Structures are given as C-alpha cells and as structure tokens.
Structure 1
Amino acid sequence: MDASLQLVPWAEDDFWLLLRKNEPVMTEHLGGPETEAKLRERHQRYLALSAREPAAGRVFRIVAEGESMGTIAFWERVWKDEEVYETGWGVLPEFQGRGLAARAARAVIAHATAHGTRRHLHAFPSVDHAASNAVCRAAGFVLLGETEFEYPPGQWHTSNDWRAVLA
C-alpha cells in the first residue's frame, strides 16, 4: 500500500468535491456537467454505497499531502454474464500529472482484493481518453479490447475494457 496516499471513505462533508468534479474539464468524457439536483442524488448514492458491507464497493476521496485531490470508487455490476466490480476515478485538474490516479487505482485493487468477493475489476475509459487509459496501464490492468459502453445512461460510446484480476 502507498503510505503517502490515503483512500478516505466518502462522507457527508464531501459534497464540495462533487461540485469540483462537475466542472466541464472534468466531465468532458462523461457526458458533461450535471445539475446540482443530480449531484445531490449522486452524493446520496455515494453515502449509501459506502455505508454497505465492504464487498458491495466503496467511494473514496483520494488524499495525499494532507489534501483531497479527487475520488475513486468501485461498485458491483454484471459484465458479460460475470459478476465483477467496476471502477472509476477523477483527479482534480491542479493535481493531475502526478500519478495519483494510478496510485489510487492500485490501492482500490488492493482494497477490493482484501474486502471483495468478485474475481475481476474492470475500468471502461473512452478510447479517446488518453489519460485514463494510461492510468489503467500504469495500475496493472490488462486491455481486453474495445467495447460499446453506455454512460451516462442513453449515451453510447466506444470504450476500452480494462481488467484487473483480484488475487
């Protein structure tokens, strides 16, 4: 585990981070900014997920150098008839380029391995999102190929299917 980076479970006071992650530069590959009402719904979903048993998944703040720098999460889903976890992250613009997302992804892999019940963790960055694909590579995911992926609901795009084995 990376001692200089912490994954802190999502808490009531973390809504400000959703507001920051809703900026256009942060949502370019995710369908664009959401309304504040949608963000409040998302915040409640994050709180509910993090209140469940650890094997259900978690949402975390990425903390390094005493500062909250972004988020990372993993959650249950079925993919190609297999029960797996999916992961996603977002590092605030002023902290990008430091390897934080890859370090956080490795920490999530370790957490899901220790607390989870599923064998695989997938990430589905858009094929044209070079930074997120680089994170997957650096974190040890294996590229399975391209797939059509729906996110947000109703918006289909071509993404890469990256998979980590939870040993």
Structure 2
Amino acid sequence: MTAHVRIAPWADGDLDLLRRKNEPEMTKYLGGPESEEKLLARHERYLNLSGPGVGQMFSVALLPEGEKVGSVGYWEKVWQDEWVYETGWGVLPEYQGRGIAAAAAISLVETLRPVRKHQWLHAFPSVEHLASNAICRKAGFSFVAECEFEYPKGTVKPSNDWRFDLG
C-alpha cells in the first residue's frame, strides 16, 4: 500500500502546497481557511518541529512522478494524562479517494515505529469527517471512543479517538 507515495521532511519549498491545502474544501473540519499571516506562521512551525521522536511534518509525493499531493505529520501531546503522538494528514481534493492518505499514514507509522518513545499514535477526526475516519481504519488504527476534542484552539467538537500501537 505504501509503494505509491513517498513522505519527505517538510521543506521551505512546501509553502505552495500549504497554500493549496488552505481551501474551504480542505479546511471544512479544521476551522476554515487561514489568513496568509497564519499560513506563514504554520509553515514556520512545520519547518521548525524538532524532528524524529518529538514531531515532524512531511510532504506526501505521488510516485513515480514525485508530484506533491498532500501532507502528513505527528507531534507530541498529553492525552488523558499520558504522553502520546498525535497525527494529521491532508491530500489535495483532486487526489482524494485513491488511498494516498492511508498510504501516507502507514508510511508515517513505519517512520515513527523505530523511535519507540511513545506507545500510541492518535488521530482525532471529527465524527462528521467520514473520509478521515475511513483513513484511520484503512491505516490500521483502532477505534477507542468518541470524545470531545479542541481544534482549532477554542473550538471543542465531537471527535473520534483512533490510536495505533507503535510498540
């Protein structure tokens, strides 16, 4: 499944990809499009995540062409009094429905598994975001429970807690 994508650490040249992902269709469950100022700040955060074991963003390229079609990443957080990793992804609309996001999530797991810093990788898609919940299933995450999750900051919404055992 992972043979048709490659993930690569987020780079300066990925700002255009971030802008392409900042459309209403892509941000519907994430609080809507961000201003250019917020987008530039997000790009800087992506570039400056600390790296393996702490957090990292990746671009997702379609193989064999290498065209960048999305992103996937992880970061540390405390969830229910335990340090875990959280993950998120996004694939441009014209490439959705091809298994790319699930393949990217599996590639992320394969990259993260050898680190062995935290046991769990969680994803928290909105209960309404059927595609992201399906990606969790396809990528091998286990459903934990419905929960209240805050994202963006100040917005709490019903979400599903999915987790992957990295141990």
TM-score of Structure 1 vs Structure 2, range by shorter chain? over 0.9
Distance 2:62 2:42 in 1: 24
Cα displacement (A) at 1:116: 4.5
Runs of 4+ in 1 over 2 A off after TM superposition: 1-4
Aligned equivalents of 2:162 and 2:26: distance in 1? 21
Between the aligned partners of 2:163 and 2:8, the Cα distance in structure 1 is 24
1:140 matches 2:102: no
Deviations 1:60-82 (A, max 9, x none): 00111321010000011010011
Match of 2:54 in 1: 56
Contact 1:120 1:165 in 2 (8 A): yes
What's the TM-score once normalised by structure 1's chain length? 0.96
User: For 1:154, what is the secondary structure of its paired residue?
Assistant: coil
TM-score by length of 2: 0.96
Map of 1:36 onto structure 2: 36
What displacement does 1:57 show?
1.6
For the residues of structure 1 that align with 2:165 and 2:84, how far apart are their CA atoms? 10
Does the 8 Å contact 1:84/1:122 carry over to 2?
Answer: yes
Cα gap change, 1:34/1:54 in structure 2, threshold over 3 Å: closer, same or farther?
same
CA contact 1:56–1:116 (8 Å) conserved in 2: no
Q: Secondary structure at the match of 1:54?
A: coil
1:1-150 alignment, distance < 5 Å: 2-49=2-49, 52-65=50-63, 66-150=66-150
Structure 1: segments with no counterpart, 5+ residues: none
**Cα contact 1:76–1:83 (8 A) shared by 2:** yes
Counterpart Cα distance in 2 of 1:92 and 1:116: 31
Aligned residue identity for 1:150: E
Residue identity in the other structure for 1:36: E
Contact 1:61 1:72 in 2 (8 A): yes
Unaligned runs of 5+ in 2: none
Distance, in Å, in 2 between the alignment partners of 1:163 and 1:136 is 8
C-alpha spacing 1:116/1:56, structure 2 compared with 1 (3 Å): farther
Identity %: 55
Secondary structure of the residue that 2:53 maps to in structure 1? helix
